[in-house]
Amino acid sequence: MPNPHSISDSVQEPLELLYRNGAPAVSGQLATPHFRDICLSKDSQDICDAMLESAEKLNRPIRSEAELNLYTDVHSKVDDLVKAIKALQVQERQPWHKVISQIGEATEPMRNRLERISDILRRHITDWRAKWVAGQQREAERLEVKAAEKEAEAKYSDNPQKKRTAKLEAKQLKAEAKALKPIPAKGIDTEKYYTAKITNRQQAALLPQEAIDMEPNDNWFNREVKARIKNGERFNERMFRGIELSEQVKVRFHR
């Protein structure tokens, strides 16, 4: 396995392309000619200006058959000149098309390989994080149940010493459960979200139209469940009549 420090250091070095069998150039600098101004030649400009002047004089409704012939002739010549300019553009751009293609051939295979391994690593990280979060949640729930048991023991105990001990233990268990809340790791975070499934269409139809169309609107339920939890309500699969909810965990990547 490569040393992660050496990989990190190598990424800091600037990437560049090697240009061979051509004029010396360095990737990242001006490897191609740069012009302060590009314009038509004087003769070409004069031809285009003359054509525009002639055509613009005809920018009015046709009044006779003779004018129709004139308009048709000038229109044909204008279109021929447009075609000539398009051909000039193609002709002048052609030499660069090969260079652009070569740049793609030089970079895309490696980029594709790196993107594939990035997707694979992301999937492994996502799977691990989801399992880890689920484990933390199960343990937190176990501790909360024990804390509730200790609180009940403290409430109903007649022994003052046992009451104090049970209260302290319940407080400690709650603190341990709270500490198990998932926190962002380097480059990743987790977010709970909720999906819904209709179990009773008659009851589900009583929910707002935004929540139910032909199928449940998971965005609506996700928003509503989070709002209820924020207000102190505990998540329950049957929080909405005619709907069965499930809690999911997704991983978010950030920089």
pLDDT in tens, 16-38: 656 566 544 444 554 555 566 77
- What pLDDT does residue 25 have? 46
Name, in order, each residue with C-beta under 8 angstroms of 38's C-beta and a sequence gap of 6 or more: none
Q: List pLDDT tens digits, range 107-128.
A: 888 888 888 898 888 888 878 8
- What pLDDT does residue 56 have? 92
Question: Quick one: tokens of 121?
Answer: 């690593």
The stretches in the chain having pLDDT less than 70 are 1-36, 182-191, 213-214, 250-255
End-to-end CA distance of the chain: 24
- What pLDDT does residue 39 have? 83
pTM of the model as a whole: 0.47
Q: At what angle do helices 160-179 and 65-156 cross, to 10 degrees?
A: 160
